Chains A and B, each alone.
Chain A
Amino acid sequence: MNQLLQRELTSTLRTRGSVTNPLGFLLLSLLLFALVDPGAQGGQGSYLSGIFWVLILLTNLLSLDAMFRRDFDSGALEQMLISAHMPFVAVLMRIFVHWLSSGLLMTLFVPLFGLLLGLESETFLPIMLVMLVGTPALSLLGSIGAALTVGFSRGGTILALLILPLFLPVLIFGSACISAAVSGLSFAAPLTWLGLFSSSSLLLAPWATWAALKISVEMQ
C-alpha cells in the first residue's frame, strides 16, 4: 500500500500545474469578490460563507477532470484495474492524493484567504476544521463523476451536471458551519452532519468510482 501511495504522490507532483492552478483560481476569485464588494469582507458572515464554499466546489470541479485522464490516455488505468487486488484501496489512494493536492491544500491556505477578506483570526481555525471535514467528500464524490466522464472528449460540462447535485449537502452544511463560526456561535451540529456525510462517502464512493472506471475503460 505504501508503494501505491508513493507512486500516486510522485505522479501528481510531477504535473505541478494541476496542483497550483486550482489554488490560484480560488485565490483569484476570492480576490475578485473582495474587490467588487467591500461589504463581502468579514462582517456579513453568511454571505461570505456561501460564496467561499461555492468557490471551493468550483475549484474542486476544475481539478477533478484531470484525476484519471492522463492514466486513461496512457493505458495505465486499464493496468490498474486488472492488477489491483484490492480495488477499494487502489481507488482510495488516488482519491486521497487528489484530496491532498486540492482540499487539504486549500485548507492550509485559509489563513491567507482570511487575511485578504478581512476575517477575524479567531475564525481561521474553525473554518479550517470545517474544510478538513468537508473537502474529502468533494474528492470522493467527485471521483465518481471524473471516472464516468474520463472517456468523453468534452466531459467537463457533463461532469459538472452529474457532480454538483452530489456536492449540495457539503455546500449546505459547510456554509452553515462557517456562518455560525464567523458569528461566534457553536457549529457542532452542522459539523457532525458534515462528518457523517463525509464518512458515508468514504465507505460508498470508492465502489461507485471503481464501477465507473471499469465502464470508462471499455469505452476506449
Chain B
Amino acid sequence: MSGSFAASLKQLWHKLGSPRWFYQITHNWVRGFGVMAAVMLVVGCVWGLAFAPPDYQQGNSFRIMYVHVPAAMVAQSLYLGMGVAGFIGLVWRMKLADVAIAATLPLGITLTALALFSGSVWGRPTWGSWWEWDGRTVSTLVMLFLYLGIYALREAIAEADLRARAAALVSLVGTVNIPVIKYSVEWWNTLHQPASFTLTEKPAMPAEMWLPLLVMVLGFYCFAGHNVLSRMRLEILRREANTRWVAELFAAKPVSASITKES
C-alpha cells in the first residue's frame, strides 16, 4: 500500500534528523557488518589466492584483482555517498549528513590510495608498466585529489556549521565532475591509442573466477558499512557529548538525587 509506505519513509526521514536515534539503531548494524566483513574477507582472500584458477594470459598476478577491484568500487561508492550526503546536508540541513561526510573521509581516502597502488602493482607484471593514463586511472587519481581537497577544506574552517556546508558543496560539485573527467579521458584515448586492453573489456570470466570476486566485493562493502557506521557513532558521541542522553548512557552509578541536567 503506497500510502503507508510513503508514510513510513517520511517517518524514517524524520528519525534521521535525530543523532540519538541513529546511535541507538546502529549498534547492532555495526556488529552485523563487522562479522560479515570478517567472514567474507577471509573466505574471499583464501579463495582468490589459492583456489581460483590462474588466468590464461596473466598467470597468478591477476589475483590482485581480488583486492584491487573491490577497493576501487567501494572507494567510488563512498565518494558518491558523500555527494548524496552533501546534497542532503545543503538542502535539508540534516545534522547527520555532515557526520556521514566526516566519517566517510578516512576510509574513502585510504581505499582510493589502495586502489591506485594495487592497480599499479597489478600493472607491472601484467602489462609491463607501473602506470597508464586511461579514463579509469585518471578519474581515480582525480577522485583522490577531490577527497583530499574536502579533507583540507574541513581542516581549514574552524566553525562547525560553515565547515559542514563548505564540505557538502565541494563534495557535491566533485561528484558531478568525476564522470565528466572519466569520459573526457577515455575519449582522448580513443584518439591517441588503438583500443588496448582495459579492465572493462575483459573476456567473460568463468564462475570459479568471479565468485571469489563477488565475495570480496561484498566483504569490502560490509567492512565499509562497519567502519563508516562506527566512525559516525564516534562522531555523534563527540558532538553530542553535552546532551542528556549521552550523559545517561555513560552514567556512573544510579545516584539517589535526581539529576536535572540541561540537554
By a beta-carbon cutoff of 8 Å, the part of chain A in contact with chain B is 144, 148, 152, 158, 161-162, 164-166, 168-169, 172-173, 176, 193, 197, 204, 208, 211-212, 215, 218-219
Contact = CB atoms under 8 A, between A and B. Distances in A.
A169 B184 contact: yes
Interface stretch (B74-82, B149-157, B196-204, B210-218): B149-157
A193 B145 CA distance: 24
B159 A172 contact: no
Interface in B158-183: 159, 162, 165-166, 169-170, 173-174, 176-177, 180-181
Given A148-B153, A169-B180, A162 B191 contact: no
Contacts of A165: 142, 145-146, 149, 174, 177, 181
Contacts of A211: 90, 165, 169
Contacts, number: 63
Interface residues of B, number: 28
B127 interface: no
9 contacts: A148-B166, A158-B156, A172-B187, A176-B191, A208-B169, A215-B169, A218-B159, A218-B162, A219-B157
B176 to A, nearest CB: 8
A158 B152 contact: yes
Contacts of B159: 218-219
Contact of B166 (A166, A168, A173, A215): A215
B180 to A, nearest CB: 5
Contacts of B180: 169, 197
B148 interface: yes
B211 to A, nearest CB: 36
B16 interface: no
A172 B188 contact: yes
A164 B138 CA distance: 13
A168 B142 contact: yes
Contact of A161 (B152, B157, B165): B152
Contacts of A204: 176
A121 B185 CA distance: 29
Nearest to B165: A215
A152 B184 contact: no
B177 A166 contact: yes
